[in-house]
Structure 1
Amino acid sequence: MTVEGEAVRASRKVVSGETLVITIPEPKELDLLPEDLPLEIIYEDDDLAVVNKGQGMVVHPSAGHPNGTLVNALLYHLKSLSSINDVIRPGIVHRIDKDTSGLLMVAKNNATHESLAQQLKDKTTLRKYVALVHGNISHDKGTINAPIGRSKTNRKVQAVIADGKPAVTHFTVLERFENFTLVELQLETGRTHQIRVHMQYIGFPLAGDPIYGPRKTLEGQGQYLHAKKLGFKHPKTGEELVFEVPIPAQFENTLAKLKKID
């Protein structure tokens, strides 16, 4: 960035009448290559696959994560993927955050992709999560019905806002600890960061959440959130499929430590 032909810092204040020149670099093209990365495939047939994504893996490439993603692994391990989404998201019907672990459905052809996407839109899929949150939730069950959109004060995060998109999360308390609560959550909608935003909104942010929670209070990287159960109707056979995977070892170890403290 230059002002009147001289290079300046981004923090430099511009005075009325000065000429400001900002040079925007050319965007870099992402090379989408298959990578032999560990991938736990829970189920696979000719039309779709269900995978258990590990914590710390990004779902698809982006400017900050050009490789090492779930998509790179899918390209290596699966013979075909749907092409409905843009070129950097083949097969991806829905996403979970980098530091959220758990189940995802993957489409291997476009007809399957369209069917699964429609099921998500129609709210007929089953998506259950387990999360560890700060504080003690007094109610055994509850529903959070609060619209979510981009924050008005921080455009990098999501928030509950009046003109946001409808968002509904149901929760059930599984276990209470001294300063934490283990909850099961079921999504009715699928907004960006929905569970993380909703739990912060009601005063019980996810443990380990670097964006919506307090400073790091437990060991590990990222939020304690796991997509444990996924159900949907097979696009071709009509069979109801339901899959479930246990929480990761780190999550389990943290719960064991909390039980000892209690």
Structure 2
Amino acid sequence: MSETYISDRVGERLDLFLVRHIPDISRSYAQRLIEEGQVTVNDMPRKANYKLRVGEQVACTMPSAEEVSIVAEDIPLDILYEDADIIVVNKRRGMVVHPAAGVMTGTLVNALLYHCRDLSGINGVLRPGIVHRLDKDTSGVMVAAKNDMAHHVLAQQIRVKEARREYRAIVHGNIVPRAGVITGDIGRHPTDRKKMAIVRENGKPATTHFEVLERFGDYTFVACRLETGRTHQIRVHMTSIGHPLVGDMKYTGKKNPFAIGGQALHSLTLSLTHPRTGGEMIFTAPLPADMEEILCSLRHMS
């Protein structure tokens, strides 16, 4: 389905213009449409931060539900909490969050559709219920919305930093300061489109707080708290200070001597306000066995 709109404000960002004119889409979904080439301005593709002029013609093609069919699959879920509005799960390492090109089955969304039947539709047919994401090889706590009301409220909490997320990571090297704050705008890597990087232009502000929990000489066990939720944020930020994550072959060339299939990163806790009751809720997912085994090995060698 394609729709055309006329810009009526000077200097408005293209992604914000779409959010204002298309009902029930999030800013991240608008940015995704732009990145996928589904949006043009005066028949020309533009970036999400393009500043519109009055009278410019914005055309947007929205994928229809008939274009794809997401199959509900009976995949086991580690459910931490569930009610009529939200479901909180401990995502296992190796599970993709939602279907995408080349990966249409075996995802968390496929599993949620089988278990819940009903999920919010704000993020489109491929990402029902998905309020925030974890990388394929990051494990831990995730919340999904069962209806649009819950989705709107949770997305707003994440946007204004009311929802709090804390991670655990094992990184290469000995981090000297006990704690610190890493900042740096994150955007697509200038030469490798499959990676993210700290960039000077067209990036999004990102802030990561870290605290050293244990030191093992060549490795450090850290707690990371996010103020923002950019793609690969912890992986990029820790790499930027010279301490890439163990097992993260995308961002480090360092050898991985441990039995872990992906980066040693786990979403430990998620704190939020329930979208209907307003009650404060804290969810915790225990550290996965592969990371526990690495820590036991490092403690034994120390």
* Alignment partner, residue 76 of structure 1: 114
Q: Is residue 2:190 matched to residue 1:158?
A: no
User: SS state of the match for residue 297, structure 2?
Assistant: helix
User: SS state of the match for residue 130, structure 1?
Assistant: strand
Matches within 5 A, 1:86-235: 86-163=124-201, 164-213=203-252, 214-235=254-275
Structure 1 unaligned blocks of 5 or more: 1-28
User: SS state of the match for residue 197, structure 2?
Assistant: strand
Deviation of the 1:78 alpha carbon: 1.1
Q: Which amino acid in structure 1 is aligned with residue 257 of structure 2? A: T
Q: Which amino acid in structure 2 is aligned with residue 181 of structure 1? A: T
Q: 1 CA distance for matches of 2:236 and 2:118?
A: 35
Greater helix content? 2
Deviation of the 1:117 alpha carbon: 0.4
User: SS state of the match for residue 117, structure 1?
Assistant: helix
Q: 2 CA distance for matches of 1:216 and 1:32?
A: 35
User: SS state of the match for residue 51, structure 1?
Assistant: strand
Q: 1 CA distance for matches of 2:268 and 2:262?
A: 17
TM-score (norm 1): 0.87
| Kept after mapping to 2: 8 A contact 1:168/1:189 | yes
Deviation of the 1:56 alpha carbon: 0.4
User: SS state of the match for residue 74, structure 1?
Assistant: helix
Q: 2 CA distance for matches of 1:108 and 1:159?
A: 33
Alignment coverage as a number of residue pairs: 234
User: SS state of the match for residue 243, structure 1?
Assistant: strand
Q: Which amino acid in structure 2 is aligned with residue 253 of structure 1? A: E
Percent identity between matched residues is 54
Q: Which amino acid in structure 2 is aligned with residue 247 of structure 1? A: L
Deviation of the 1:79 alpha carbon: 3.3
Q: 2 CA distance for matches of 1:192 and 1:253?
A: 27
Q: 1 CA distance for matches of 2:256 and 2:170?
A: 13
Deviation of the 1:30 alpha carbon: 4.1
Q: 2 CA distance for matches of 1:116 and 1:55?
A: 24
Structure number with bigger Rg: 1
Of residues 35, 48, 61 in structure 1, which corresponds to 2:86?
48
TM-score (norm 2): 0.76
Q: 1 CA distance for matches of 2:260 and 2:205?
A: 32
* Alignment partner, residue 257 of structure 1: 297
| Kept after mapping to 2: 8 A contact 1:41/1:50 | yes
User: SS state of the match for residue 242, structure 1?
Assistant: strand
Per-residue CA distance 1:210-255 (angstroms, 9 max, x = gap): 1012233322200000000001111111101101111101110111
